Structure 1
Amino acid sequence: MRAFAPLLIRRALLRDIAALALGAVCPVSFAQHGGPGLVTPPVRLDDTWLVDQTGRKRLLNDLLRQGVTALQTVYTGCGTVCPMQGVLFGTVQDQLPAIRARHSVQLLSVGIDPLSDSPSALRAWLARYRAGPAWNAATPALSDVDRMRMALSGSKTPLGNIADHSTQVYCFDANAMLRWRSADLPRVNDLCDVLGALARA
């Protein structure tokens, strides 16, 4: 029986995530804003303009409404945790075709150093991890970076230097609502499970 315990826990987690996406689970079972876990109530970020890797200007919520989205914050000059985040999304990207879904699933890397994260730098960063068409990158204006980082994290206070930025992944449903915050550098399987549950809702 002991060998089945992890499987039962995993199934319970999947059931709860799917129920969240359908709005059917009691809110007290969710993580509150600021911590990892399911976000309740779901949050819509204030809209802001981003410039993507092609140089095109895009509204954040327009990007998020293109499908269920896993979003990470990175900066192209980072040599510590950002390469690990690139590998993480690269591995998740490989799993996307296996996710059965009503909604498309996409990955979005948001550059948080607008002075360096130019479209050409974002393109080079994506190319380094062999990003396909379902993985894009974009950067907000300098004046919007802190506000966006705080909204993603659920923090009410400034987050400090970008070198100490979060390695969480933020999952949005197809209506651009933030539904889940991961722990730092989440496991690929956990992230794929959440994306799959949201995509099937």
Structure 2
Amino acid sequence: MSATVPGFGQLLLAAAACVQVASASEPRLRVSSEVCKPADVVLINQDGQKVRLKQILESGDPVVLNFIYGHCTTICPTLSAGYATLQGRLGASSGKVHLISITIDPDRDTPKALKDYMRRFRARPGWDCLTGSRRDIDAAMHGMNTFIPDLSSMVPITMIRPAGSEQWVRIFGLMSSSEFIEQCRRTGIL
């Protein structure tokens, strides 16, 4: 009797099974609470208006923040669909929650490009997409204890701060719109 040596396909299947078992024990979403020090930078919204980031993020109103880029085809549309769903759930009071998306690709994401991006998601008042200089975008990310150095390093991070709180809830992981809505409920946004 000769011993069978597994073929490449069998090895791949075995490796995939090991990865599934290992990843099944790790949570898909990592949620933590922290205090952030928003950068005092001036960014530009989708309408070409200058916006002082720190003023919005420390306003005392509820804020939800994420990082996107306009030509992203994977993570960003899912994050933005969550924002659109949240605005739909909030209805007429959607402007009472500041939704902020900051581009990590300021070279391509002009205010016009961001306005076009938001149009795809039927964004309403209360949701701003922000761009600016590379230096100011980097400062904004560092102020939120986040740094995405380039497009190939894109990760799904959503930050939520309930009204009147200094604590931010960081959610690391890609959420469906219903999971995002549930996280907003848990943090008191809804």
**TM above 0.5, one fold?**
yes
Q: Which amino acid aligns with 1:150?
A: H
Amino acid corresponding to residue 126 of structure 1 in structure 2? M
Partner of residue 55, structure 1:
48
Partner secondary structure for residue 84 of structure 1: helix
1:46 matched residue in structure 2:
39
Structure 1 position 104, deviation (Å)? 2.4
| One-letter amino acid of the structure 1 residue matched with residue 151 of structure 2 | I
SS at match of 2:124: coil
Q: Indicate which of 101, 104, 110 corresponds to 1:112.
A: 104
Would you say 1:80 and 2:74 are equivalent positions? yes
8 A contact 2:148–2:155 mirrored in 1 = no
Q: 1 CA distance for matches of 2:81 and 2:148?
A: 24
Q: Give the match for residue 21 of structure 1.
A: none
Structure 1 residue 116, shift from structure 2 partner: 1.1
Equivalent in the alignment of 1:129: 121
1:101-156 deviations in Å (ceiling 9; x for gaps): 9x92131111121111111011101001000112121113211222322333x35x
Q: Residues 69 and 104 of structure 2 are in contact (CA less than 8 Å); yes or no, is this contact kept in structure 1? A: yes
- Work out which of the two has the higher radius of gyration on C-alpha atoms and give 1 or 2: 2
Deviation at 1:98, TM superposition (A): 9.2
Distance 1:79 1:186 in 2: 15
What whole-Å deviation, never above 9, does each CA across 1:59-87 have from its counterpart, x for those lacking one? 00222327211111111122222222222
Question: For the residues of structure 1 that align with 2:165 and 2:56, how far apart are their CA atoms?
Answer: 8
In the alignment, which of 86, 92, 104 is matched to residue 92 of structure 1?
86
- Show CA shifts across 1:3-47 (max 9, x none): xxxxxxxxxxxxxxxxxxxxxxxxxxxxxxxx932323x223121
Q: Which residue of 1 aligns with 2:171?
A: 182
Show structure 1 runs of 5+ residues with no match: 1-34
- What TM-score do the two structures reach when normalised by structure 1? 0.67
1:67 pairs with 2:61? yes
Greater CA drift, 166-175 or 188-197:
188-197
Identity of aligned residues (%): 24
- Assess if the C-alpha contact under 8 Å between 1:53 and 1:137 holds in 2: yes
| Counterpart for residue 173 of structure 1 | 162
1:175 shift after superposition: 5.0
